[in-house]
Chain A
Amino acid sequence: MEQVKSRITTTHAEGADCQVLILACPSIAAATQPGQFVHVRVSESADPLLRRPISVMLADRQAGHIRLLVRKVGRGTEALARLPAGATVDLLGPLGNGFPFPSAETSGDILLVAGGVGVAPLVFLADTLQTHRARFRVCGLLGGASDEHLPVWTELAGRCEEFHVSTEDGSAGEQGLVTELLGEHLAQDGTAVVYTCGPRPMMAAVAQMCAEARVPCWASLEQWMGCGVGACLGCVVPAAGGDDFLRVCKDGPVFAAEQLAWEALGQ
């Protein structure tokens, strides 16, 4: 983990409400694993004060770049999206645990189930899986409200053997929720493991479907953060079966679905 000042090499709008930033930060690019994130300072001033956690969408070790996909939902992400190429951004990272890799003996399908901007860490995972391919196939399922809400979908599609899209309004792919695509896939046997990132109700449904199908499921969670390094205990989510809590920044952001109390999380 380190704190670096990183230059934006390019930035461009993506879909209805997202921005893709490419940042020059060789040390972080070299160290980051899929599912890890950077904690980004969005302003030089004391307001907004806190850093914002953003997943690394791709790390290009050769070029020394990382790519971020930012959805504009508030002051911090809007400020980040407005920064021009050439601007400097203060990053802390890489942080968090990242996705555990499937073992080389894994056979069958690896399913990546993404909702909206949750696609970002799964693009990186798909990218890395390609270089570690054994006997499995990577299948991507991406859902969004409409065709305008499927940011960087080609980045995921291009790294999967099989790829399906659903939109709630039917403007792209199947009409409906991504969990319906997952249901169809789980109905045919052969799914080895599911990785998911997206809105909490979506991930709660994915976790439940995987539990019923007895397929291991890894979910990448979000929570408001203070430190990002495990020190403040501010970013917790409830753990399964008890009163305990897990830190999203340090114990996560990736959790085995059975680690979490989804009843409390899905709300």
Chain B
Amino acid sequence: MSATVPDLSVEIAGLTLRNPVMPASGTFGWGTEYADLLELSSLGAVVVKATTLLPRPGNAPPRIVETPAGMLNAIGLQNPGVDVVVREKLPPLADCGAPVIVNIAGETVDDYVAVAKRLGASPVVSALEINASCPNTERGGMQFGLEPGPLAELVSAVRAVTSLPLITKLSPNVTDIVPLARAAVEAGTDALSLINTLLGMAIDTDRRRPKLGNVTGGLSGPAIRPVAVRMVWQVAAAGLGVPLIGMGGIMSANDALEFILAGATAVAIGTATFVTPDTCRQVIEGLAAYCVRNGVRSIREIVGAAHRP
């Protein structure tokens, strides 16, 4: 490898990614919606929408509202259910050239277990991401993500039925995220994703009603980046021994670098893709340029570098 081409590859949960950049679940549909604008094979991984056991219609609209430097969403885990996902949504990704990570959600531990088993039988799936953090349904996962006990129970139940690499996505809607991260690791997760959206709300002052059909929603975009960076920093400082996938408001390579320096081995891009569909590509190029500028041969050298004295 020539000195001017930095090595961006990283390892997450036993998967080798050609670079540390992937879309965030729920912002990239089933992977094909952006195929016109972004080469899927250039991504570190493709991460698809939350999948549940049974089809879910999702929440009543409006589901989206813009907020200062961010947005609230309350999609409500709309998806056609795991059977349709396996039969119709995943096969088009079979030859996409990047590992496919499927986000899973449910109302009960048994739901997650059943979804994980079905997905385990699909040759297209490279890893599972447990969504223990969706704030937009009465029982859509976040009930598991707020306390170490239920989270550990969920993660170990899924761990027991799958040999796929397992990532657990944490909720930021807690006072201290470290005990949750530790519980997930002790229960057998191979990696952690953080953060999901922050619970928020907006009110229409003319109508005197909440703007979202669901009343509350999840805040994403640049507005949440400092919170997300802080949480990645805290979990990295705890030294739990699993790689972290950092996300929350990343719009540029420089934003991604904040997460990497705070301790994330990889990053995910969510809301930014709505604004600039090829943000992932720009971030990949920007990371490579940063490495070249700073004499960094492998991106792995700088993971967590901001912690070093």
Chain A residues at the B interface, C-beta cutoff of 8 Å: 1-3, 41, 46-51, 92, 223-238, 243-245, 250, 264
Known: A227-B273, A231-B28; 19 extra A-B contacts, CB below 8 A, are: A3-B276, A47-B69, A49-B69, A50-B66, A51-B275, A223-B62, A224-B63, A224-B66, A226-B71, A226-B73, A229-B29, A230-B29, A231-B27, A231-B33, A236-B78, A238-B61, A244-B57, A245-B61, A264-B60
Partner of B63, one of A51, A228, A229, A236: A236
The answer to whether B27 and A227 touch across the interface, beta carbons within 8 angstroms, is yes
The answer to whether B78 and A233 touch across the interface, beta carbons within 8 angstroms, is yes
The answer to whether A235 and B64 touch across the interface, beta carbons within 8 angstroms, is yes
A49-B61 contact given A227-B33, A231-B34, CB 8 Å threshold:
no
Main secondary structure of the interface of B (DSSP, over half): loop
Query: B276 — which chain A residues lie within 8 A by C-beta?
Result: 3
Taking CB atoms and an 8 Å cut-off, the chain B residues in 248-281 that contact chain A are 251, 271, 273-278
A111–B63 CA distance with the chains assembled, in angstroms: 33
B222 within 8 A of A: yes
Chain B 17-49 per-residue mask, 1 if CB under 8 angstroms from chain A, else 0:
000000000111100011011000000000001
Least Cβ–Cβ distance between A141 and chain B, in angstroms: 28
Least Cβ–Cβ distance between B204 and chain A, in angstroms: 12
Query: A231 — which chain B residues lie within 8 A by C-beta?
Result: 27-29, 33-34, 273
Cβ-closest chain A residue relative to B79:
A233
A41-B275 contact given A224-B65, A243-B57, A245-B58, CB 8 Å threshold:
yes
A46–B66 CA distance with the chains assembled, in angstroms: 11
Query: A236 — which chain B residues lie within 8 A by C-beta?
Result: 58, 61, 63, 78
Query: B60 — which chain A residues lie within 8 A by C-beta?
Result: 238, 264
- Can you list the 8 inter-chain pairs with the closest CB atoms, starting with the nearest? A231-B29, A234-B64, A231-B33, A243-B57, A47-B69, A46-B222, A227-B274, A46-B69
A243–B65 CA distance with the chains assembled, in angstroms: 22
Cβ-closest chain B residue relative to A244:
B57
Q: List 23 A-B contacts (CB under 8 A).
A: A3-B276, A41-B275, A46-B222, A47-B69, A49-B70, A49-B71, A49-B222, A50-B66, A224-B64, A224-B65, A226-B27, A227-B33, A229-B29, A230-B33, A231-B29, A231-B34, A232-B26, A232-B73, A233-B29, A234-B73, A235-B64, A244-B57, A245-B58
The answer to whether B58 and A233 touch across the interface, beta carbons within 8 angstroms, is yes
Query: B66 — which chain A residues lie within 8 A by C-beta?
Result: 48-50, 224
The answer to whether A245 and B62 touch across the interface, beta carbons within 8 angstroms, is no
